Amino acid sequence: MAKPVDAADRNIVDVFLRPGSYCVGGADHRIRTLLGSCVSIILWHPQRRVGAMSHFMLPSRPRPSTELDGHYGEDAMWLMLRDLVRDKTNPLECQAKIFGGGNMFPEQTRLAVPSIGEKNGATARQLLKAYGIPIVCEDLFGIGHRQLHFNVRTGDVFVRKVGVMPPR
């Protein structure tokens, strides 16, 4: 039997972020993604019910460039902040949540060398601190990937963790 569709659900803008993408939206947005070693920074303005979410792969670019690229944490953060300001939302009034940075290949990890996921997570923390945006929640590192669902109306983020199968 089909589930009845709530009138509010018919007007939801459902966005799926791929690596290197980001989204800024209002209360009618639900933003989803799937993270491995990548990291999502989520910014949410509780009074305006406006939010932003990124999906970045690397902390920073290897070479300087004049073009912004959401694949890099530094650029993704700047893109989100820029679009929030364009939407007349003050990023300093936002709350931040950080997710991801999972170790996808634990059998190949060297203890003395931080994984790309660890570098991504550390970069997210540093960026938010540098911009003065408080982190209210984080779920970083570990083994495996995460599915995220961000409800911009409520600010809730639902996380489903899926572990990596052990090597055979």
Segment 121-133, tens digit of pLDDT: 999 999 999 999 9
pLDDT of 167 > 50? The answer is no
Give 8's pLDDT tier (boundaries 50, 70, 90). Answer: low
CA distances to 91, 110, 119, 142, 161 from 105, in Å: 35, 11, 15, 11, 16
pLDDT of 2 > 60? The answer is no
In a domain, 35, yes or no: yes
Query: According to the model, what pLDDT value does residue 106 have?
Result: 67
Query: How many Å is the Cα radius of gyration of the chain?
Result: 16
In a domain, 50, yes or no: yes
In a domain, 69, yes or no: yes
Which residues partner with 70 through β-bridges?
A: none
In a domain, 3, yes or no: no
The answer to whether 13 and 29 have CB atoms below 8 angstroms apart is yes
Cα-to-chain-centroid distance, residue 7: 28
- Does residue 78 come out as left (phi exceeding 0), alpha (psi in the -120 to 50 range) or beta? alpha
Q: How many domains does the chain have?
A: 1
In a domain, 122, yes or no: yes
Q: Tell me, what CATH number does 102's domain have?
A: 3.30.1330.200
* Residues annotated catalytic, as ranges: 38
In a domain, 168, yes or no: no
In a domain, 6, yes or no: no
Give 112's pLDDT tier (boundaries 50, 70, 90). Answer: low
The answer to whether 150 and 131 have CB atoms below 8 angstroms apart is no
- Domain containing 141: what range? 13-162
In a domain, 134, yes or no: yes
61-80 confidence digits (pLDDT tens): 888 888 999 999 999 999 99
